[in-house]
Protein backbone atom coordinates (compact mmCIF):
# COMPACT_ATOMS: atom_id res chain seq x y z
CA UNK A 1 0.00 0.00 0.00
CA UNK A 2 3.02 2.31 0.38
CA UNK A 3 3.61 4.78 -2.41
CA UNK A 4 6.87 3.92 -4.20
CA UNK A 5 8.32 7.42 -3.86
CA UNK A 6 7.87 7.36 -0.07
CA UNK A 7 5.34 10.23 0.01
CA UNK A 8 2.71 8.35 2.04
CA UNK A 9 -0.15 5.92 1.83
CA UNK A 10 -2.37 5.53 -1.22
CA UNK A 11 -6.13 5.81 -0.88
CA UNK A 12 -7.48 2.31 -0.15
CA UNK A 13 -9.57 0.52 -2.74
CA UNK A 14 -13.31 0.44 -2.20
CA UNK A 15 -13.09 -3.33 -1.77
CA UNK A 16 -11.03 -2.99 1.43
CA UNK A 17 -12.97 -2.94 4.67
CA UNK A 18 -12.15 -0.27 7.18
CA UNK A 19 -13.32 2.76 9.03
CA UNK A 20 -14.26 5.95 7.25
CA UNK A 21 -12.58 8.98 8.71
CA UNK A 22 -13.53 12.56 7.94
CA UNK A 23 -11.26 15.40 8.87
CA UNK A 24 -12.78 18.80 9.52
CA UNK A 25 -10.42 21.71 9.96
CA UNK A 26 -11.96 24.72 11.64
CA UNK A 27 -10.17 28.00 12.12
CA UNK A 28 -11.31 29.43 15.42
CA UNK A 29 -11.62 33.22 15.02
CA UNK A 30 -10.67 34.28 18.54
CA UNK A 31 -8.33 33.14 21.25
CA UNK A 32 -11.06 33.17 23.91
CA UNK A 33 -13.34 30.95 21.81
CA UNK A 34 -10.48 28.55 21.10
CA UNK A 35 -9.75 28.36 24.83
CA UNK A 36 -13.41 27.71 25.66
CA UNK A 37 -13.72 24.95 23.04
CA UNK A 38 -10.46 23.29 24.07
CA UNK A 39 -11.18 23.38 27.80
CA UNK A 40 -14.75 22.14 27.36
CA UNK A 41 -13.73 19.33 25.02
CA UNK A 42 -10.89 18.15 27.23
CA UNK A 43 -12.27 18.61 30.75
CA UNK A 44 -16.09 18.67 30.60
CA UNK A 45 -17.38 15.17 31.37
CA UNK A 46 -21.04 16.14 30.96
CA UNK A 47 -20.92 15.74 27.16
CA UNK A 48 -18.85 14.41 24.29
CA UNK A 49 -16.34 11.60 24.43
CA UNK A 50 -15.61 12.22 28.13
CA UNK A 51 -19.26 11.55 29.00
CA UNK A 52 -19.25 8.44 26.81
CA UNK A 53 -16.13 7.14 28.53
CA UNK A 54 -17.61 7.86 31.97
CA UNK A 55 -20.84 6.06 30.99
CA UNK A 56 -18.77 3.08 29.78
CA UNK A 57 -17.13 2.82 33.20
CA UNK A 58 -13.73 4.29 32.36
CA UNK A 59 -12.24 5.83 35.48
CA UNK A 60 -11.28 9.44 34.83
CA UNK A 61 -8.96 11.32 37.18
CA UNK A 62 -10.72 14.19 38.92
CA UNK A 63 -10.14 17.59 37.38
CA UNK A 64 -8.85 20.33 39.66
CA UNK A 65 -11.21 23.06 40.80
CA UNK A 66 -9.09 25.82 39.28
CA UNK A 67 -9.24 24.08 35.90
CA UNK A 68 -13.03 23.65 36.16
CA UNK A 69 -13.44 27.29 37.16
CA UNK A 70 -11.28 28.41 34.23
CA UNK A 71 -13.36 26.23 31.91
CA UNK A 72 -16.64 27.68 33.22
CA UNK A 73 -15.37 31.25 32.84
CA UNK A 74 -14.13 30.60 29.31
CA UNK A 75 -17.44 28.96 28.35
CA UNK A 76 -19.46 31.80 29.85
CA UNK A 77 -17.50 34.41 27.92
CA UNK A 78 -18.27 32.57 24.64
CA UNK A 79 -21.72 31.20 25.46
CA UNK A 80 -23.35 32.54 22.29
CA UNK A 81 -20.74 31.02 19.95
CA UNK A 82 -20.93 27.69 21.79
CA UNK A 83 -24.73 27.66 21.57
CA UNK A 84 -25.18 27.55 25.35
CA UNK A 85 -28.64 28.52 26.56
CA UNK A 86 -28.66 31.69 28.55
CA UNK A 87 -29.49 35.39 28.41
CA UNK A 88 -26.77 36.20 25.85
CA UNK A 89 -28.05 33.58 23.38
CA UNK A 90 -31.67 34.68 23.85
CA UNK A 91 -30.64 38.29 23.26
CA UNK A 92 -28.80 37.36 20.06
CA UNK A 93 -31.78 35.34 18.79
CA UNK A 94 -34.16 38.22 19.56
CA UNK A 95 -31.86 40.62 17.68
CA UNK A 96 -31.76 38.27 14.67
CA UNK A 97 -35.57 37.97 14.70
CA UNK A 98 -35.92 41.78 14.64
CA UNK A 99 -33.50 42.04 11.70
CA UNK A 100 -35.26 39.24 9.85
CA UNK A 101 -38.62 40.98 10.30
CA UNK A 102 -37.26 44.24 8.86
CA UNK A 103 -35.62 42.46 5.92
CA UNK A 104 -38.80 40.43 5.31
CA UNK A 105 -40.83 43.67 5.06
CA UNK A 106 -38.24 45.04 2.63
CA UNK A 107 -38.37 41.89 0.48
CA UNK A 108 -42.17 41.97 0.32
CA UNK A 109 -41.98 45.48 -1.16
CA UNK A 110 -39.99 44.18 -4.16
CA UNK A 111 -42.52 43.13 -6.83
CA UNK A 112 -40.13 41.34 -9.22
CA UNK A 113 -39.43 37.71 -8.23
CA UNK A 114 -36.18 37.66 -10.26
CA UNK A 115 -34.78 40.71 -8.47
CA UNK A 116 -31.20 40.19 -7.23
CA UNK A 117 -31.96 41.67 -3.79
CA UNK A 118 -35.00 39.44 -3.34
CA UNK A 119 -32.91 36.37 -4.18
CA UNK A 120 -30.32 37.47 -1.62
CA UNK A 121 -32.96 37.93 1.08
CA UNK A 122 -34.72 34.65 0.24
CA UNK A 123 -31.90 32.19 -0.64
CA UNK A 124 -34.12 29.20 0.17
CA UNK A 125 -37.52 29.32 -1.58
CA UNK A 126 -40.55 29.48 0.77
CA UNK A 127 -38.35 29.78 3.88
CA UNK A 128 -38.45 33.50 4.49
CA UNK A 129 -35.35 35.40 5.47
CA UNK A 130 -32.69 33.07 6.87
CA UNK A 131 -30.28 35.60 8.29
CA UNK A 132 -26.99 34.01 9.29
CA UNK A 133 -28.20 30.42 8.89
CA UNK A 134 -28.06 29.48 5.21
CA UNK A 135 -24.82 27.89 4.04
CA UNK A 136 -23.19 27.92 7.48
CA UNK A 137 -22.24 25.17 9.84
CA UNK A 138 -23.04 24.98 13.53
CA UNK A 139 -19.77 25.25 15.47
CA UNK A 140 -21.23 23.80 18.66
CA UNK A 141 -22.65 20.78 16.78
CA UNK A 142 -19.39 20.26 14.88
CA UNK A 143 -17.37 20.23 18.09
CA UNK A 144 -19.88 18.03 19.94
CA UNK A 145 -19.95 15.42 17.17
CA UNK A 146 -16.19 15.25 16.70
CA UNK A 147 -13.35 13.45 18.34
CA UNK A 148 -11.04 16.40 18.80
CA UNK A 149 -7.45 16.27 19.92
CA UNK A 150 -5.64 19.34 21.12
CA UNK A 151 -1.99 19.84 21.82
CA UNK A 152 -2.15 22.04 24.89
CA UNK A 153 0.11 22.98 27.75
CA UNK A 154 -2.69 22.37 30.25
CA UNK A 155 -2.85 19.84 33.02
CA UNK A 156 -6.19 18.60 34.49
CA UNK A 157 -5.14 18.90 38.12
CA UNK A 158 -3.86 21.43 40.62
CA UNK A 159 -1.15 18.93 41.60
CA UNK A 160 2.27 18.96 39.98
CA UNK A 161 2.38 16.25 37.25
CA UNK A 162 5.31 14.40 38.91
CA UNK A 163 3.25 13.94 42.08
CA UNK A 164 0.41 12.15 40.25
CA UNK A 165 2.30 8.88 39.69
Each domain of the chain, given as residue ranges in start order, spans 31-153
Taking all residues of the chain, what is their mean pLDDT, rounded to a whole number? 77
CA distance 151 to 5: 30
Do 39 and 69 touch, CB atoms closer than 8 A?
A: no
Check pLDDT > 90 for residue 140: no
Q: What count of other Cβ atoms lies within 10 Å of the Cβ of residue 78?
A: 21
Distances from the Cα of 10 to the Cαs of 15, 17, 25, in angstroms?
14, 15, 21
pLDDT at 28: 81
pLDDT in tens, 55-95: 888 887 888 899 889 999 999 998 888 888 889 889 988 99
pTM metric for this prediction: 0.59
pLDDT at 2: 46
Amino acid sequence: MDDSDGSGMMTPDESEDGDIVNITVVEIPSRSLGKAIALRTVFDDSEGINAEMRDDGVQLPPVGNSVLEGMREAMQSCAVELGLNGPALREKEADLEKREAVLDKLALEIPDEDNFMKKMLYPVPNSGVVLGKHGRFDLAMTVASSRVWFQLAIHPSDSIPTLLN
